[in-house]
Homo-oligomer: A and B are copies of this chain.
Amino acid sequence: MVSYKAPLNDIRFVLYELLDYETTIAALPGYEEATRDVVDAVLDEAARFCETELLPLNGPGDAEGCTFEDGTVRTPLGFKEAYRHFIKAGWTGLACDTQYGGQGLPNVLQFVLEELIWSTNLSFGIYPGLSHAGSHALALHGSEDQKRLFLPRIVDGTWSATMCLTEPQCGTDLGLVRTRAEPKGGSTYKITGTKIFISAGEHDLTENIVHMVLARLPGAPSGTRGLSLFIVPKFLVKPDGTLGTHNRVSCSSIEQKMGIKASSTCTLNFEGAEGYLVGKPNTGMHCMFTMMNTARLAIGLQGLGLAETAYQSAVAYARERLQGRSLSGSKFPDKAADPIIVHPDVRKNLLTARAYNQGARALALWVGMAMDVAVKHPDPARGIEAEDLVALMTPIIKAFVTDYGFEATNLGLQVFGGYGYIRDSGMEQLVRDARIAQIYEGTNGLQALDLVGRKLPQDSGRLLRRFFHPVSQFIDENTGDAELQPFVLPLAKAFARLQQATLWVAQESLKDGQEAGAAACDYLRMFALVALAYMWARTAKVAVGKLAAEKESFYRAKLATANFYMTRVLPQTSGLFAAITAGARSIMDVHEEWF
């Protein structure tokens, strides 16, 4: 069985000590009520809910899966009740606008909540997770009527939302979307087409499902410039908000998948369904990216959430399982064998997961706070700076955190040995569930292209500077500090290499677009490893200053993990640098028929 307690100590450390939540976020206009006391209460209650309501349903939900019969989908036993409790507690509206019934709390708390949900029941979390992405797009791009009619019910969770993008012939390449929208007068359209792989496309948790559908208007330009976004509710909604007849959209099947089996993945057929245009015609990609970016960050957190559960479970198992003796002499001569946590390789696996998790949590919450600053900061320049950082970091968090999330769940499984491969251990489910996050909402290869092809060159590297400047500054300010040398020096060295790699990619891409594509994934990983090194160096600085404090062992553990990260994880960057600067030729010179 997996072992999990919400890592509130670490979350509080990151919020209050590392990132200075109180002056950075709680001081923003509009967040006056999001005091530390309020945040602490939210954290405690989120932890309780996830640990006691969601975690117990995770294994059984995987075993039972969703059931499809005659166009309807049944979620596993217990999901409906848990969802009722979930929305009753107001979790769906945590960071939503109070105008539509949300609690109006900072987005960074939504990040924390999501981590805890993904840790305890990824499949469950996908249902409200998509609603969150959909409501975000609707809030930004919908008309007043649309917002009034749909948002309050999505925010309170009695309805859910979906993102209907993929079709059989198009996943990554949305320019190939064929679903059509024919005008019926006003903002009403007839939507016809087939959408596949639609998460939460049909289920039994909510009274209505609001599909956000990418489709093409008559005469629209080809490719992505001809896409528009439509609201297509499962049940039509009368002007007074009550439900009308079933719209002409139906679920024809659900997928049998490797994991997230309790999350329904649907094929939806739109057969002249009534839909409502969101925003202007042919601006669908723009509206869609609002949803998509929200979803991408959430999915990055899925990697963290699953890896945290894997880490905690593996630590618990490694303390219990007796096998072999320490290489430096028996630690427990009275027992039949030592617990396997004495073995260097087991510790290395645990520390790798720990260093990734705590580093990624710090990075993600830094970005989560930047989202709040972007929306609420009274100085527009500071708002744009924060928005830039979010834009830059979105592909990095989505791709790197889900990549290492898959690695870390596998490290956890490995610590369990043969038991980890058995379903009852719960460990193999974490691995299967983690695998999808590298694929959906834009494969990790696409994220890397987004970073290298779009975010880096944007405005002559303006976005990039939002990360490079604070790192440079931190290194300059702390290079002279003897106690911080073991953290600042490796960071400085890896950062210098990242700057070199950045220059290389920028220059070579100008000569040949293939170079950017060939470098992209390795570059993104290198960037992420340096970003984590930055968070670990900052963490070390905070920890060094608190060693005399009462929770000394907490800070000692932080320093030990930072040290492990710098010496055993960060060196990956040297191989990545060599691979990046080796260039595209060894990849592109291979004739297609040679494969």
Q: How far is the CB of A592 from chain B (nearest CB, A)?
A: 6
Question: When the two chains form the complex, which single residue of B328, B444, B582 contacts A568, counting CB atoms closer than 8 Å?
Answer: B582
Whether A449 contacts B345 by the Cβ 8 Å rule is: yes
Most chain B beta carbons < 10 A, residue from A197, A347, A432, A583: A347
Q: What CA separation (Å) do A432 and B434 show in the bound complex? A: 13
Whether the Cβ atoms of B166 and A445 lie closer than 8 Å is no
Query: In the complex, what residue of chain B is closest to A416 when comparing beta carbons?
Result: B439
- Residue-wise, chain A 556-569 has the 8 Å CB interface mask toward B (1 for contact) of 11001101100111
* Interface residue? A381 (CB, 8 A): no
A417 and B443: CB pair below 8 A? yes
Q: Which residues of B contact A256 (CB under 8 A)?
A: 422-424
* Residue A255 interfacial (CB < 8 Å): yes
Decide if A327 touches B435 in the complex (CB within 8 Å): no
- The residue that A439 contacts in the complex, of B173, B414, B521, B575, with Cβ under 8 A, is B414
Give residues of chain A (551-595) contacting chain B, Cβ–Cβ below 8 Å.
553, 556-557, 560-561, 563-564, 567-569, 571-576, 578-579, 582-584, 586-595
Do the beta carbons of A439 and B423 come within 8 Å of each other? no
B345 contacts A448, CB within 8 Å?
Answer: yes
Q: Is A144 an interface residue (CB 8 A)?
A: no
Are the CB atoms of B337 and A173 closer together than 8 Å? yes
B contact residues around A176 at 8 Å (CB) = 322-323, 336-337
CB 8 Å contact bits of A147-187 with B (1 = contact, 0 = none): 00000000000000000001001111101100000000000
> In the complex the two chains form, is B592's CB within 8 Å of A172's CB?
no
A 508-534 contacts with B by CB, 8 A:
512-514, 516-518, 520-521
Residue among B169, B349, B553, B579 making CB contact with A593, cutoff 8 Å: B553
Q: Which residue of B lies closest to A521 (CB)?
A: B345
Given the complex of chains A and B, what is the CA–CA distance between A176 and B443 in angstroms? Answer: 46
CB-CB under 8 A from A594, the residues of chain B are: 553, 556-557, 560
Name which of A319, A421, A591 has the most chain B CB atoms within 10 A of its CB. Answer: A421
User: For the complex, is A420 an interface residue (Cβ under 8 Å from B)?
Assistant: yes
Q: Does residue A428 face the partner (Cβ distance < 8 Å to B)?
A: yes
The answer to whether the Cβ of A436 comes within 8 Å of any Cβ in the partner chain is yes
- Count of chain A residues with Cβ under 8 Å from any Cβ of B? 98
Identify the interface centre among A349, A414, A417, A587: most chain B CB within 10 Å of its CB: A587
| CB <8 Å contact, B323 and A172 | yes
> A413 contacts the other chain (Cβ, under 8 Å)?
yes
**Contact of B445 with A414 in the complex, beta carbons under 8 Å:** yes
Given contacts A255-B422, A414-B445, contact A344 B587 (CB under 8 A): yes
Contact partner, A414, options B166, B347, B443, Cβ 8 Å? B443
* Contact string against B for A residues 441-484, beta-carbon threshold 8 Å, 1 for contact and 0 otherwise: 00111001100000000000000000000000000000000000
Shortest CB-to-CB span from A513 to chain B, Å, is 4
Q: Are A428 and B258 in contact (CB under 8 A)?
A: yes
Q: Which of B171, B512, B567 contacts A582 (CB 8 A)?
A: B567
**With A and B bound together, what is the CA distance between A564 and B588 in angstroms?**
10
- Tell yes or no: A540 within 8 A of B by CB: no
A444–B410 Cα distance when bound, in Å, is 13
Chain A, residues 247-265, CB within 8 Å of chain B (1/0): the string is 0000000011111000000
Evaluate contact between B315 and A595: CB separation under 8 angstroms.
yes
A350 within 8 A of B: yes
Q: Which residue of B lies closest to A348 (CB)?
A: B587
Is A504's beta carbon under 8 Å from chain B?
no
A418 at the interface (CB under 8 A from B): yes
Contact assessment for A173 and B586 in the assembled complex, using a CB-CB cutoff below 8 Å: no
Q: Which residues of B contact A175 (CB under 8 A)?
A: 337
Question: B344, B420, B569: which contacts A588 (Cβ < 8 A)?
Answer: B344
Whether the Cβ atoms of A345 and B518 lie closer than 8 Å is yes
Q: How far is the CA of A328 from the CA of B517 in the complex (A)?
A: 10
Chain B CB within 8 A of A4 CB? no
- Among B347, B406, B413, B575, point to the contact of A575 (Cβ < 8 A): B575
Query: Which residues on the B side are within 8 Å of A345 (C-beta)?
Result: 445, 448-449, 517-518, 520-521
Q: Give the distance in Å from the alpha carbon of A406 to the alpha carbon of B594 in the complex.
A: 24
- What 0/1 readout, one digit per residue, does chain A (365-378) give for beta carbons within 8 Å of chain B? 00000000000000
Nearest CB of chain B from residue A447's CB, rounded to whole Å: 10
Contact assessment for B344 and A517 in the assembled complex, using a CB-CB cutoff below 8 Å: yes
Bound-complex Cα distance A302 to B176 (A):
39
Chain B residues whose C-beta falls within 8 Å of the C-beta of A571 in the assembled complex: 574-576, 578-579, 582
Asked if A225 is an interface residue, CB under 8 A from chain B, the answer is no
Which of B170, B348, B592 is A319 in contact with, Cβ under 8 Å? B592
Q: A323-B171, A516-B327, A586-B564 are contacts. A439–B421 as well, Cβ < 8 Å?
A: yes
State in angstroms the CA–CA spacing of A579 and B572 once bound together. 8
The residue on B at minimum CB distance from A435 is B421
In the assembly, what is the distance between CA of A486 and CA of B168, in Å? 43
Question: Does A29 count as interface, using CB distance less than 8 angstroms?
Answer: no
Kindly state whether residue A440 has any CB partner on chain B within 8 Å: yes
A228 in contact (CB, < 8 A): no
Judge if A491 is at the interface, Cβ distance under 8 Å: no
A351 at the binding interface (Cβ < 8 Å): yes
6 nearest interchain CB pairs? Answer: A344-B517, A571-B578, A557-B594, A258-B428, A327-B513, A567-B582
16 contacts between A and B (CB under 8 A): A173-B324, A176-B336, A258-B428, A315-B595, A343-B517, A345-B449, A345-B517, A347-B588, A414-B443, A418-B440, A421-B435, A421-B439, A557-B590, A557-B594, A567-B583, A571-B579
Supplied contacts A257-B423, A574-B575, 10 more A-B pairs, CB within 8 Å: A171-B323, A315-B595, A350-B595, A428-B435, A431-B435, A553-B594, A556-B591, A560-B589, A560-B591, A564-B590
